[in-house]
């Protein structure tokens, strides 16, 4: 078990005609959450996992989905769970 917890956020730019399909596919990814979409084809996505590799895998999957034009990593945070449990009762 990892003592880390990773959170990453992305802005995904996609073809507007593929938005509904992309929303379904992204939400089906383990650890993925869709926070917002725009009619122009922009999606705000967060990815969470206990290790970095599943996040990298999900970014690769998102980039390969039909209709995705690009994705931009906006934020990445790594929390040490052991340290967090000492701070938070």
Tens digit of pLDDT for each residue in 5-43? 999 999 999 999 999 999 999 999 999 999 999 999 999
Yes or no: is domain 4-87 CATH 3.30.70.920? yes
For the entire predicted model, the pTM comes to 0.85
Domain boundaries, the chain: 4-87
- 39: tokens are 């009619």
CA atoms of 67 and 25, how far apart (whole Å): 11
- Answer whether 64's CB lies under 8 Å from 29's CB: no
Task: Enumerate the H helices of 8-71 as residue ranges.
Answer: 19-27, 52-64
CA atoms of 51 and 74, how far apart (whole Å): 18
CA atoms of 41 and 13, how far apart (whole Å): 6
Residue 58 in this model has a pLDDT that exceeds 80? yes
Q: What is the average per-residue pLDDT within 47-63?
A: 96
Residue 2 in this model has a pLDDT that exceeds 80? no
């Amino acid at each position: 078990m990892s003592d880390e917890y990773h959170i990453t956020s992305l802005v995904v730019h996609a073809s507007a005609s593929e938005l509904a399909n992309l929303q379904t596919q992204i939400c089906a990814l383990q650890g993925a959450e869709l926070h917002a979409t725009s009619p122009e084809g922009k999606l705000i996505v967060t990815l969470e996992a206990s290790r970095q590799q599943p996040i990298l895998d999900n970014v690769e999957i998102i980039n390969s989905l039909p209709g995705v034009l690009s994705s931009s990593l906006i934020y990445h945070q790594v929390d040490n769970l052991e340290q967090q449990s000492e701070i938070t009762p």
